[in-house]
């Protein structure tokens, strides 16, 4: 078995190491500019894991301004083989209600104007990656297995529609996304997932639904940002627990 080297990309609601012990910190220079944060090596469940904060620490970089190329390049540069991206999403399907943890298995990309490939510099190297399954099956299975073991009720499989942001969507946009087959909406899984695939990194997402997407709530009211924050604060504990169990499992099966 080859050694797995693990990283977590923390998203909204995951912008600090919390009470994890930081072993070391390093900044990596990349040909694409600066990463969102320094790479912090922490000890999680006795395993060394790198954490990178997608929106900076503290949170300051909006989804459309994240330097996804630098982030993935830096993780690859330091030898990371497996990445779990943590993302907050809005629920479109009834099964993706607020507070639910979701392990998506598909993506529809609605983003634009984001640098999204490592393969545009070199005209000699036209490379098409297979993206039939955008998330790494091995890593999704570990997340699902550990959710079952820790008694967490997660949604196993969902189509993640990725929007450009930073504004939230209109109700009509969400109705269109529902017709397209999206179960959840978020702003950050792309191009993170495809860049990780280009670099040969096994990448999966652990999403937390923090609101009903526009027009999906029962009273059709506007999205309440204070409620979203409250949900994040309460439910990130479960996400961190799932990450810890998954990291330990991945390490033991290295
Ligand atoms: N839309 C887009 N991104 C999000 C949402 C949403 O409703 N909730 C959390 N991230």
- 149, 241 in Cβ contact below 8 A? no
Percentage of residues in the chain having pLDDT higher than 90? 81
Q: Ligand 1 pocket test: which of 11, 100, 111, 168 has the largest number of ligand atoms within 8 Å of its C-beta?
A: 168
Is the C-alpha dihedral spanning 157, 162, 167, 168 positive or negative? negative
Q: Ligand 1 pocket test: which of 104, 185, 207, 225 has the largest number of ligand atoms within 8 Å of its C-beta?
A: 185
Closest to 246 (Cα-Cα) out of 2, 23, 3, 7: 7
Q: What is the mean pLDDT of residues 69-90?
A: 97
Q: Which atom of ligand 1 is nearest to the CA of 163?
A: 2
* 73-77, 87-91, 125-129, 250-254: least confident range: 125-129
Identify which has the larger pLDDT, 222 or 142.
142
- In this predicted structure, the answer to whether residue 2 has a pLDDT above a threshold of 80 is no
Task: Name the closest-CA residue to atom 10, ligand 1.
Answer: 89
Angstrom distance (rounded) from CA 174 to CA 216: 8
Tens of pLDDT, residues 97-135: 999 999 999 999 999 999 999 998 666 766 889 999 999
Residue 223 alpha carbon to ligand 1 centre in Å: 10
pLDDT at position 227: 86
DSSP-derived secondary structure letter, 117: -
Tens of pLDDT, residues 145-164: 999 999 999 999 999 999 99
Which residue ranges have their beta carbon within 6 Å of ligand 1? 88-90, 163, 168-169, 185-187, 210-211, 213
Q: What is the mean pLDDT of residues 242-247?
A: 96
Residue 151 alpha carbon to ligand 1 centre in Å: 26
Residue 154 alpha carbon to ligand 1 centre in Å: 18
Is the C-alpha dihedral spanning 200, 110, 215, 232 positive or negative? positive
- What is the pLDDT confidence band of residue 1, given thresholds at 50, 70 and 90? low
Tens of pLDDT, residues 24-62: 999 998 999 999 999 999 999 999 999 999 999 888 999
Closest to 10 (Cα-Cα) out of 96, 62, 83: 83
Q: Ligand 1 pocket test: which of 64, 66, 90, 171 has the largest number of ligand atoms within 8 Å of its C-beta?
A: 90
pLDDT at position 123: 66
* Cβ count within 10 A of residue 247: 24
Residue 163 alpha carbon to ligand 1 centre in Å: 8
pLDDT at position 127: 82
pLDDT at position 17: 86
pLDDT at position 12: 87
- What is the pLDDT confidence band of residue 220, given thresholds at 50, 70 and 90? low
Closest to 190 (Cα-Cα) out of 89, 48, 79, 42: 89
Task: Name the closest-CA residue to atom 5, ligand 1.
Answer: 90
The pTM of this model reads 0.96
- What is the pLDDT confidence band of residue 14, given thresholds at 50, 70 and 90? confident
């Amino acid at each position: 078995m080859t050694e797995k080297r693990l990283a977590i990309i923390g998203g909204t609601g995951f912008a600090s190491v919390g009470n994890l012990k930081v072993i070391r910190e390093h900044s990596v220079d990349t040909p694409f500019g600066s990463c969102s944060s320094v790479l912090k090596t922490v000890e999680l469940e006795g395993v060394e894991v790198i954490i990178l904060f997608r929106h900076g620490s503290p949170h300051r970089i909006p989804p459309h301004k994240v330097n996804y190329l630098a982030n993935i390049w830096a993780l690859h540069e330091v030898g990371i083989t497996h990445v779990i991206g943590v993302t907050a999403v809005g629920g479109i399907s009834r099964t993706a209600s607020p507070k639910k943890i979701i392990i998506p298995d598909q993506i529809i990309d609605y983003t634009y104007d984001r640098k999204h490939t490592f393969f545009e510099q070199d005209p000699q190297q036209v490379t098409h990656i297979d993206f039939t399954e955008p998330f790494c099956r091995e890593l999704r299975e570990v997340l699902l297995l550990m959710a079952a073991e820790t008694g967490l009720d997660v949604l196993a499989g969902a189509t993640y529609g990725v929007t450009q942001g930073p504004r939230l969507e209109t109700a009509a946009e969400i109705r269109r996304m529902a017709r397209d087959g999206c179960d959840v909406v978020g702003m950050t899984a792309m191009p993170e997932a495809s860049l990780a695939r280009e670099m040969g990194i096994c990448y999966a997402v652990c999403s937390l639904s923090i609101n009903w997407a526009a027009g999906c709530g029962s009273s059709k009211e506007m999205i309440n940002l204070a409620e979203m924050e409250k949900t994040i604060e309460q439910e990130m504990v479960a996400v961190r627990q799932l990450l810890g169990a998954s990291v330990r499992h991945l390490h033991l099966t290295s």
